[in-house]
Amino acid sequence: MIRQAQEAVRRYLPRGGGKGLLLLGLVLVAVWAASGFYRVQPDEQGVVMRFGAFDRTAPPGLNYHIPWPVESVTTPRVTRINRVDIGFVGSPEAGIVTGRVPPARDVLAESLMLTGDENIIDIDVAVFWRIRDAGEFLFNTRNPENTVKSAAESVMREVIGRTPIQPALTEARAQIEQEVLRGTQAIMDQYQAGIEITQVQLQKVDPPAQVVDAFRDVQRANADRERLRNEAESFRNDIIPRARGEAERLVQEAQGARESQIARARGEAARFTSVLTAYQAAPDVTTRRMYLETMEEILRRNPMVIVDDRLQGVVPFLPLGENAVAPRQAPGQGNLPTTRPAPLPPGTPPVQGRLPQGVTR
């Protein structure tokens, strides 16, 4: 090729133009050498190939490689997030606004999976990934997108195969997403595919369309069961502490009454013992003191009026007060009493009026 280029140049140059040919060759070499400069953008990664084989990767910025045909450069975008759909084709949001792109269509061969309790579930998954190493991405996998899809679908079937249907439909969605992400990333690392799985999203987790109504009824029944159970637990948590508090209060009151009775009995016993000791020491004095104390207590509770025997004209009076019984009336006698007052003692002169209540002779 160099010889043909030299002959082509000689045809256009006059004879004796060796210096011009040399100058032209130097210019061509300089232009060829300058063609080795290339720029890698911030969202790209340069992959340098020497004679078609991978040689090295270049960071963003201005770089240099041996010009063609020795080395060539490919600059794939490594920050772009790619998406792979499993179980459906198209976007769920497509066709709602514009109407140009058809909406998502289920692919039952991918979406129907067997759960751990031998039920069938319909799952749609979206896997998001990006290029982590451009060299591995270009030369270690033939079809990276199909590789990501196959690996994610395999891991998803494995995770669903050991998960019962009820948690998969309700609270285990986030856990399933994390397990699928870790499993798919492990497969990509094993293949050295240069791919990083950034996110796994479960788009739809439903029973098969033929039994979805029955499953929804079961869901509502389970929700009602949980609600009733929570109400029962709430009532239990309210009534049991209250009953325990009431029982503790009764126990404390009983303990207090017991201690009080014991202390009172001990006090009474100690008082009786002290009186007995005093009586044994001086029986006459103790007996007289006990008599005086007893009479003082009786007279204090029963007020009395003492009348001198020399006083003449005192009429005895019986104070009935509230304990008096209403006299019964005889028929046709109106309000006249049916009983007569008690007769006066013999030798008592009649006195007009009566003494106050409690006066005796």
Secondary element (H or E) of residue 340:
none
CB contact at 8 A, 126 and 85: yes
Side chain identity at residue 29, one-letter code? V
Structure tokens of 267? 């006090």
- Give the pLDDT score at 101: 44
- Full pLDDT tens readout for the chain, 361 residues: 777 777 776 666 655 556 666 777 777 777 777 776 777 766 666 777 777 677 677 777 777 777 777 767 777 777 788 899 988 887 644 433 344 445 567 788 888 888 888 888 888 899 999 888 887 888 888 888 899 999 999 999 999 998 888 888 878 888 999 999 999 999 999 988 889 999 999 888 888 877 777 777 877 888 899 899 999 999 989 999 999 999 999 999 999 999 999 999 999 999 888 888 877 888 888 788 888 888 888 888 877 777 777 777 777 766 665 555 544 444 444 444 444 444 444 444 444 444 444 444 4
CB atoms within 10 A of CB 278: 14
Tell me how long the chain is. 361
- C-alpha torsion sign, points 170, 175, 178, 184: negative
Residue identified by tokens 């017991």 is 258
Could you tell me which of 56, 62, 64 has the C-alpha nearest to residue 35? 64
- Give the pLDDT score at 12: 63
Alpha helices in 201-282 (DSSP H): 212-281
pTM, entire model: 0.50
Secondary element (H or E) of residue 122:
strand 120-131
* Inter-CA distances, 77 with 44, 57, 85, 192, Å: 4, 13, 21, 18
Sorted by sequence, the CB contacts under 8 Å of residue 353 that are 6+ apart come out as: 315
- Give the pLDDT score at 294: 87
Structure tokens of 357? 């209540």
Structure tokens of 156? 């998803």
- Give the pLDDT score at 14: 58
- Give the pLDDT score at 343: 47
* Inter-CA distances, 220 with 214, 250, 355, Å: 10, 45, 91
Query: 182: helix, coil or strand?
Result: helix
